[in-house]
Structure 1
């Protein structure tokens, strides 16, 4: 099973604490170029750093430069996480990703294009039904540069979040508490709370946390039911990449040279924008995936115990020999 296979690696509780500290330090170091660039620009323009809050800091730089520097810290964090997994836990990249013998990239690409088409279709449908809420934001050269940055760095950002929450912490908490529902809840709540600094929270209020935590829960359920992260990796990558390329707004974390710019007031949309995805769209997707991949025994996979498998001495001796990373 996906969580239980972490027992076959070095899984002492303190290793996960040390690992998280190392990853946090790496992400913090990765934010230095962004912070330095903002400070240099403010000094050149004679502006006061104290007047710049989290929301307008994200829109202070040129959008493509801002996106690159913002995503850079996630790429650094991902590298640090993979190093921690390999050398601190003696765990292979495949073991962190899936319970299958090999990573099933067909699953990744299926959900990537499935959700990419659906999410893009919903945006385009809204554009044609209410064109007054949008303006064409397309400029060829900035969009081409955006595409290069987004295609390379957005998957690194989403992969970092997935490998940290649905992978590293899901397995780490699971082998400590020896059940599945506790890591599912903890990783979903922490994943949601880490988005609390996003400008969307300032615009929509704390109720938006229902969406962030609900999304974490959805991705966690997908991971546990499918015994691997391939689907959550593909969904998260598609969600952020297609959004970055297709539509932006002044109040979102991703302010890009996208094709469209949403000019509507999000507060006028009401709670439906938050609750419909979590309580309608996501359950429908889980139902569709359950039919495609023949998921069964939901209660055991989501609420069952995590048992330490019997490992032969020769298998223990070979831990760390896999260099698949």
Structure 2
């Protein structure tokens, strides 16, 4: 019943257009700018960004998400006449335990994978801890990342998943469409410039994972926890000079980026780690009827 929550609001096409246009604008703008710029221009942009102190750069990058998430909530409530709970879950109230379980699981998995990797070969990993800078980074991360991941999840797995679902009248199309768009909207990330569009496999695969979580659990609470945990670890645990997040993390990868190795690691995550995560969630929350929940038809709530 998650997608069907959209029927509780006013879904006039112009309302959907206005909400999508104003809240997805930052992603569309970044993608258009990326495809219009030459390689040299992109390198100059990344170089200019690198000249800004890490913590200030993080604040500048994340601040717009705060306003856009507020705008999305405002438009859904006032334009579509829906409450935020219907954008979050099909249950009567938000289950924060789901969010924190997902967050804790992803943090734990990231730490375990890092420890294993570090124990196998730490020749390219440097201790990068600076008490003052890390403390500031920690505070910034806790304050700003919830808005960034909140916008992406409420927009892609919440609003767009629901609105496209009631138009397509099925579940598989919004799952694939939002996952592909989610991946393409990350095309301006530095990893793409360094590794090529093969990295889109990882972004789209992550979108599919988050979409499956959403449809199987009938809410975005698990997706919110996963996304926040993943981004917090990317900012706080280890950084490098060729990732989207350059921070004063605990560790820094000092080696030269190898596109093939990095792409292989991403594929391993999609094929091995992601199924494990889904298995854990499925067992804990007793997911059933996978085929119907992921590919079934959508019927208006009034017809059920």
Q: TM-score, normalised by structure 2?
A: 0.92
Partner of residue 15, structure 1: 15
Partner of residue 286, structure 1: 278
Select between 12-21 and 110-119 the one with higher mean Cα deviation. Answer: 12-21
Please, which runs of 5 or more residues in structure 2 have no aligned partner?
A: 31-39
Select between 150-159 and 13-22 the one with higher mean Cα deviation. Answer: 13-22
Cα distance between partner residues in 1 of 2:201 and 2:63? 27
Partner of residue 148, structure 1: 139
Partner of residue 110, structure 1: 101
Partner of residue 190, structure 1: 181
Q: Deviations over 1:142-182 (max 9, x none)?
A: 11111110111012111110000000100010111111111
2:207 counterpart of 1:230: no
2:73 counterpart of 1:82: yes
RMSD across aligned positions (CA) = 2.0
Correspondence 1:128-277 to 2 at 5 A: 128-267=119-258, 269=261, 271-277=263-269
Cα distance between partner residues in 2 of 1:302 and 1:249? 37
Partner of residue 298, structure 2: 306
Cα distance between partner residues in 2 of 1:84 and 1:207? 35
Q: Between Structure 1 and Structure 2, how many residues are aligned? A: 293
Contact persistence 1:192–1:216 (CA under 8 A): yes
Cα distance between partner residues in 2 of 1:136 and 1:270? 21
Please, which runs of 5 or more residues in structure 1 have no aligned partner?
A: 32-48, 312-325
2:117 counterpart of 1:126: yes
Partner of residue 5, structure 2: 5
Cα distance between partner residues in 1 of 2:121 and 2:146? 30
Aligned residue for 1:164, secondary structure, equals: helix
The offset of 1:264, in angstroms, is: 2.5
Aligned residue for 2:126, secondary structure, equals: strand
Larger Rg: 1
Aligned residue for 2:50, secondary structure, equals: coil
The offset of 1:56, in angstroms, is: 2.5
Partner of residue 37, structure 2: none
Q: Cα 1:247–1:156, aligned 2, differ >3 Å: closer, same or farther?
A: same
The offset of 1:270, in angstroms, is: 5.4
Aligned with 1:68 (options 59, 62, 65): 59
Aligned residue for 1:261, secondary structure, equals: strand
Aligned residue for 1:131, secondary structure, equals: coil
Q: Deviations over 1:283-305 (max 9, x none)?
A: 12111211111111111100001
Cα distance between partner residues in 2 of 1:245 and 1:51? 26
